[in-house]
Structures are given as C-alpha cells and as structure tokens.
Amino acid sequence: MTNTTDIVARLWNLCHVLRDDGITFHEYVTELTFLLFLKMLEETGQEELLPEGYRWNDLKTQQGVDQLAFYRGLLVHLGNEGSGRVQAIFANANTALTQPRNLNKLVTDIDSLDWYSAREEGLGDLYEGLLEKNASEKKSGAGQYFTPRPLIECMVNCIQPQAGEVVQDPAAGTGGFLVQADRFIKQQTDDLFDLPEKQQDFQRKQAFQAVELVPDTHRLLLMNAMLHGIESDLLLGDTLSPTGARLPKADVILTNPPFGTKRGGGRPTRDDFTFVTGNKQLAFLQHIYRGLKPGGRAAVVLPDNVLFEEGTGTRIRADLMEKCRLHTILRLPTGIFYAQGVKTNVLFFTRGATDTGHTQQVWVYDLRTNMPSFGVRTPLTHEHFTEFEKCFGKKPDGTSKRTDQGEAGRFRCFTREQIAARGDNLDISWLKDDEATGADDLPEPEEIAALIRERLTTALEEMDALSALLAGEEVEV
C-alpha cells in the first residue's frame, strides 16, 4: 500500500515536467490545487458542489488542444458557479499551462495515484504534505511564510484550544495553525462525536477565523481547510486594514505574521491602533492583544527586533504587558525559516480583564544558544520542543510552571521590575554560546541589513510625526 509521503513525492516530481512550460514552483502548487480539488471531490463523493459538465471526468475525457481549452473555460466557469467555497477557490483563476501535453501529463498522473491509500491516510494530510514539500524547496520561496509544523504543534500543545472557543489566525498563510488547532480539538473530543450536534456545527462552521492577504495563498488556505473539514469563513484581505478591525474578539490567536515593513512603505490603515507604525510585526502584535477576549490567550511568532526596538516598539511592549500577562518567551533556534538572517521568538500571553498591571514576571526559555542551525541536513522535529513543553506546564495560560527551575538551565524567570530596568527590552539571553568566539559573535550580514532597515523605518516615522506636529496636524500617539 502506498503511503502519503510516496504520493506527495510523485506529485512533486511533476514539477520537473512543468518547468518546461515556464511554470514556477508557486504557480505549480496553485495549478495542482485546481486539479487536485476536482479529483478529491470525485474521491469523496462531493461532486454535487460542482456544476454538471465541469467535473473531473469531464476534464479527463478531453484530449489535446480541446482538453486545454476546456480546462481554461472550466476555471472561469467555476469562479462564477457552484458552492461559495468553490467560487472562492477558483476566483479569478487562470492557468499558466500552454502545452496540452503537460496538462494531459498532470491529469493522467493524478488520476493514476493510489487514491484508496490517500483516503485511508486522509486527503487533508496529503495536501498538507504537498504544502510542506513546497516550503522545504528553497527555490519555491515558500519557506519564508511556511511555519514549520513541529513549531506549530508545540504552540498548539501549549495553548490547548478547546471546543467552543473561537480560534483566529490574522496572517493565516496556508492554514497550518488552524488545521493543527482543529486536529487538537478533534483528538480531545473523539473527532467531535463527544459534542452535542449544535456544538459540532459550531466547530465546523464558526470556530475558526482567518485573514490572508495574498490571493494565491488564500486559495491554498481554502483548499487545506476544506480537506480538513473546516467550513468557517476565511477572509481574503489585509488584517492591518479595516478588515482586521471588523474581526470579532477571539478566545485564542495563533499566528506567524509576515516579516518586514508594510508593502510600499505605507502604514497600516487601521484607525483603532493606539501606536502607529510601519513595522508589520508591531502592528500585528497590537491587533493580537487588542483582539483577544478577556482571558483569551495567544501564541505568536515574532522576530527579535520586536523585543528590542525603541520608540514605538518600547511603548507597544509596555502596553502589551499592562493589558496582558506576558508569561513566556521562547527564543527559537536559527535556520527554521528560510529568511536566514531573521532570529525569531514565540510570545505567549493571556489578556487581562482590565487594561493595567497584568505582567508580574516573564519566563524566558532559550532554545537558541548551543543549538544546531536547522535546515535540510538537520531537520527540526517535535522532539526538540519536548523539554520546553514540560517546563511550560500543563495549563494553557502558563500558570503551572515549575518554580523550582530557578536560575538553572535554559528556563529563567525575570520580574517586571527587572524588565523595566532594561527599558522594557525583552531580548534577554544569559547562556554563553560554547562555539561563539571572536568574529563568530558578529551578526550575519542579512541580520545587520534587516536591523538597519528597521531603525531607518522608525526614524522616518518619527520625523513624519514631528513634521505633522509642526504643521499643526493632529497626530495619534
């Protein structure tokens, strides 16, 4: 019997054929999504979602130039007909294929896969495997937004989303956090069968919120969610625009916001942010802690600059620690994202019932110092997070940490007063890198460039604000 890994490898190998047709890696996965969607609906008996005459067998029986012409027409037709989810997946769809033989190769090879085995192991897992394969291929460029699945699993295990809670990802990508949160809840509820019918319906149709900015990535998100039985409305849009302001409050937020400044150098267009900044991570952080219900919890991946950036960054961190109990920071190892110069962390926090005085102490776990640089040769696995999860404790708000960890090892506690004495700088490390000597301690060139860009952005924003004040304009602070 063929397993999912074998099927994913066969699908990925088709990309070598399509490169002759000028198809890029990202276009390839999008192209494959359209075809897999048609085939998977046939395999799962859901073809009633598609208009008659525009289904897998209708495409498969076409030949040559007629097949390619039919496929182009099918993409346009499905963007306007069928169920709401079908229209969303095929919205403004088109094909980059120009050679009929390449389309025929795709259709023939997909049709000949071991679909019995794929159904047994789960079609959602097959699609997730394809997305992960795309991210592991450096040439695809997908690794910079694809959060490693072992890290996602760790974050979900710590936060422990529960049935009946609203789970949000405001920078959803292909939906990894939502899928893992759904999987966690289903494991706790016997695939939802332990829940009353009304709550089962809530889990399928209302429990998850998401926003994704990039249309092609949004297609992958919709496909991934559908194959995992998630029917919630997952939005195409910009969280840093009024779209994000309209999102309902969430019980749980799990996310990995995009790195860098806002596209085009503009600022977020949200009018509900207290602190205006062009730094996307700082803007997303505001959205997250403002978007939690009282008692709501979050785990968010953020680069180091969010922990130490001065000016607006300092004010946002202080506001976070007032409104939320920032209880844990996980310093992540290098090399787990393909933007190699970026060092990252996970912040875990719980929203308070009031707006002041909630952070009394912060536990920092250093999983970066004296760790290997992960990549293709040294893959990141869930076992690398086992000790951290043990230290984190059994409660999702971090209240059950072992206080006898003391000052030893990778886990250390810092009081709010100690952090204030550092100017609310949360970039805290204490372990000595055994292999770091002399020039090896210097940051990578990419890291230096990223830091310079961030500092310049902050300086320009402060100059703009000063100019506006001198001109008599109203400036939000």
Angle at Cα 141 formed by Cα 140 and Cα 146, nearest 5°? 105
Does 49 lie in the same domain as 30? Answer: yes
Whether 76 is in a domain gets the answer yes
* Rounded Cα gap, residues 21 and 125, in angstroms: 28
Measured from the Cβ of residue 49, the count of other Cβ atoms closer than 10 Å reads: 15
Over residues 391-413, the pLDDT tens digits come to 998 888 777 655 545 445 899 99
State phi, psi for 17 to the nearest 5 degrees.
Answer: -70, -45
* Residues 214, 81 share a domain: no
Write the CATH number for 421: 3.40.50.150
Same domain, 64 and 171: no
pLDDT value of position 393: 86
Pairing between strand 344-351 and 361-366?
unpaired
Looking at the fold, whether 311 and 432 belong to one and the same domain comes out as yes
Q: Domain span at residue 117?
A: 4-136
Closest CA to 221 of 338, 336, 339, 88: 88
> Does pTM top 0.75 for this prediction?
yes
Cα separation, 477 vs 470, in Å, equals 15
Q: For residue 436, what pLDDT is reported?
A: 46
Domain stop point among 91, 114, 136: 136
Cα(284)–Cα(261) distance, integer angstroms: 11
Same-domain pairing of 237 and 312: yes
Cα separation, 307 vs 313, in Å, equals: 8
- Identify the domain boundary among 101, 136, 171: 136
274 shares a domain with 131: no
Residues 225 and 254 in one domain: yes
Q: Is residue 460 part of a domain?
A: no
Helical axes 25-43 vs 215-227, angle rounded to 10°: 30
Structure tokens of 57? 């067998």
Beta bridge partners of 411: 365
Give the number of C-alpha atoms closer than 13 A to the C-alpha of residue 92, restricted to the C-beta side: 6
Distance CA(342)–CA(305), nearest Å, equals 9
pLDDT at 339: 54
pLDDT of residue 402: 52
Residue 466 lies in a domain: no
Contact predicate 8/127, CB 8 Å: no
Give me 207's structure tokens.
């429990």
* pLDDT in 10s for each residue of the chain, 477 residues: 567 788 888 888 877 767 767 777 667 788 888 999 999 899 988 899 999 999 999 999 999 999 999 999 999 999 998 778 899 999 999 998 888 998 999 999 999 988 888 887 788 888 888 888 877 765 555 555 578 899 999 999 999 999 999 999 999 999 999 999 999 999 999 999 999 999 999 999 999 999 999 888 899 899 899 889 899 999 999 999 999 999 999 999 999 998 765 554 556 678 889 998 888 899 999 999 999 999 999 999 999 999 999 999 999 999 999 999 999 999 999 878 755 567 899 999 999 999 999 999 999 999 999 998 787 778 889 999 999 999 998 888 777 655 545 445 899 999 999 999 999 999 999 998 775 433 334 455 555 665 676 667 666 665 665 565 556 554 443
> Does 340 reside within a domain?
yes
What pLDDT does 476 receive? 43
Q: Rounding to the nearest 10 degrees, give the CA dihedral for residues 233, 257, 135, 151.
A: -100
Ramachandran category for residue 372: left, alpha or beta (phi over 0 → left; psi -120 to 50 → alpha): beta
Residue 99 sits in a domain whose CATH number is 1.20.1260.30
- For the chain, the maximum distance between any two Cα atoms, rounded to a whole number of angstroms, is 73
Q: How many structural domains is the chain composed of?
A: 2
Are 424 and 317 in contact by the 8 Å Cβ rule? The answer is yes
Residue with tokens 């989810």: 85
Contacts of 347 (CB under 8 A, 6+ apart): 285, 298, 299, 300, 302, 326, 328, 329
397 and 331 in a common domain? yes
Residue-wise pLDDT for 46-71, tens only, equals 899 999 999 999 999 999 999 999 99
Let me know whether 202 and 270 are in one domain. yes
Provide the phi-psi class of 69: left if phi over 0, else alpha when psi is between -120 and 50, else beta: alpha
Measure the CA–CA gap between 97 and 75, rounded to whole angstroms: 12
Are 163 and 200 contacting, i.e. CB atoms less than 8 angstroms apart? no
Quick one: pLDDT at residue 434? Answer: 73
**Spatial distance between the Cα atoms of 276 and 313, rounded to a whole number of angstroms:** 10
Same domain, 370 and 280: yes
Say if 395 falls within a structural domain.
Answer: yes
Total residues found in the chain within this entry? 477
- What would the DSSP string read from start to end of 321-346? HHHEEEEEEEEPPTTSSSSTT--EEE
Domain-embedded: residue 456:
no
Of 201, 226, 216, nearest in space to 86 by CA = 226
Beta bridge partners of 325: 350
Same domain, 273 and 350: yes
Give the pLDDT score at 463. Answer: 66
Q: Are 212 and 89 part of one and the same domain? A: no
Tell me, yes or no, whether 103 lies in a domain: yes
Q: Compute the C-alpha angle 190/196/197, nearest 5°.
A: 100
Cβ-contact 219, 173 below 8 angstroms: no
How many whole angstroms separate alpha carbon 39 and alpha carbon 111?
7
pLDDT for the residue 466: 57
Number of H helices, E strands in the chain: 20, 9
